[in-house]
């Protein structure tokens, strides 16, 4: 008897940078995943006053390029961070999380590629969610154990510190992929040009938008980018492809730093390494298969 695909909701600040796009496509092209919905998310106001709307437009574009328009539920998340740790910011996205969490259909994974706003809102709106079979997979948070961060504050955390604390204070199961892991999923421009760009309109777009984003930072010459959101999809498909450590659930200061560790707090699963070779090769192979199928149907 074959196992059913894993239920998954992808919550994504899709137009924040250039790596969410690869993670979204990877999820939708993976037969072991049953994507119950995509929730476009805000990414603060440092780059735009319309981050939620830009994320939604990017999700719609990716679905069109995949030939999946109208086939996947898209439910907009909150337009901004929650105001405090007691007050939700309800949205269609948080409602979708609650709806799927309350179903008796096996584990629901909710992958957060940006802030935890919509998960915190779901928990505050319906506290029973924290006692359901739900796993929150979060790309975010600074390094542990005194490792030097590559930037500060960590972006996904900084866009809603209160939401992160709500989730960490809850009983919902959390798999965290911190900065020290997600920044190491790097791929070079030349590899992308050779292996992804030729794969139809979708492949060309994925690569061109990534290189164009890098060119917006001329003070830091780059010929690579970390596909840092992809581990959230990879660990749902292949939890054994990562090394984990159980740690006390952190709390974060308003500035985005780790508060002193409290050994009395409940444990969460923290990713320490991931099989990057498998993750990227699986993505590239699925993109190639999709392109071949699209060409055959044309």
Residues facing 183 on adjacent strands: none
Can you read off the two tokens belonging to residue 164? 């992160």
Q: Catalogue the E-assigned strands of the chain.
A: 6-12, 33-40, 108-112, 134-139, 173-177, 186-188, 224-226, 242-248, 267-274
Least confident of 6-15, 75-84, 149-158, 165-174: 149-158
CATH architecture for residues 6-297: Alpha-Beta Complex (3.90)
Cα–Cα distances in angstroms (integers) from residue 185 to residues 15, 47, 160, 180, 234, in the given order: 19, 24, 24, 10, 11
Distance CA 223, CA 214 (A): 8
What mean pLDDT value characterizes the chain? 96
Lookup result for tokens 């679905």: 63
Asked whether the predicted pLDDT for residue 97 surpasses 90, the reply is: yes
Q: Residues 98, 129: contact at Cβ < 8 Å?
A: yes
Q: What's the pTM?
A: 0.97
Q: What is residue 1's predicted lDDT score, i.e. its pLDDT?
A: 47
Distance CA 136, CA 97 (A): 11
> pLDDT digits over 194-231, tens only?
999 999 999 999 999 999 999 987 667 789 999 999 99
> pLDDT digits over 121-135, tens only?
999 999 999 999 999
Q: What is residue 151's predicted lDDT score, i.e. its pLDDT?
A: 84
Distance CA 52, CA 272 (A): 30
Distance CA 293, CA 184 (A): 31
Strands 33-40 and 186-188, bridge-based pairing:
unpaired
Asked whether the predicted pLDDT for residue 148 surpasses 90, the reply is: no
Distance CA 294, CA 117 (A): 36
> pLDDT digits over 21-69, tens only?
999 999 999 999 999 999 999 999 988 999 999 999 999 999 999 999 9
């Amino acid at each position: 008897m074959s196992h059913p695909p894993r239920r998954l909701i992808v919550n994504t600040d899709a137009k924040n940078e250039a790596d969410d796009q690869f993670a979204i496509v990877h999820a939708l092209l993976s037969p072991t995943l049953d994507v119950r919905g995509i929730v476009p998310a805000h990414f603060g106001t440092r780059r735009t006053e319309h981050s939620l709307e830009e994320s939604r437009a990017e999700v719609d574009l990716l679905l069109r390029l995949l030939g999946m328009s109208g086939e996947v539920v898209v439910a907009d998340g909150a337009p901004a961070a929650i105001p405090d740790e007691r007050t939700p910011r309800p949205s269609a996205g948080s409602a979708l999380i609650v709806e799927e969490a309350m179903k008796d259909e096996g584990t629901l994974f909710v992958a957060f590629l940006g802030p935890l706003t919509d998960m915190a809102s779901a928990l505050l709106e319906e506290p029973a969610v924290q006692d359901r079979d739900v796993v929150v997979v979060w790309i975010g948070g600074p390094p542990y154990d005194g490792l030097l961060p590559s930037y500060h504050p960590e972006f996904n955390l900084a866009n809603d510190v209160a939401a992160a604390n709500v989730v960490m204070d809850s009983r919902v199961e959390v798999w965290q992929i911190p900065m020290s892991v997600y920044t190491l999923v790097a791929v070079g421009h030349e590899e992308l040009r050779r292996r992804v760009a030729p794969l139809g309109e979708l492949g060309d777009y994925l690569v061109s938008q990534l290189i164009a984003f890098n060119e917006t930072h001329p003070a830091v010459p780059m010929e690579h980018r970390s596909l840092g959101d992809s581990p959230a999809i990879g660990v749902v498909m292949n939890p054994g492809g990562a090394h984990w450590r159980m740690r006390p659930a952190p709390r974060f200061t308003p500035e985005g730093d780790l508060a002193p560790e409290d050994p009395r707090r409940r444990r969460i699963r923290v990713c320490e390494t991931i099989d990057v070779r498998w993750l990227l090769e699986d993505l590239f192979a699925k993109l190639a298969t999709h392109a071949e199928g699209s060409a055959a149907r044309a």
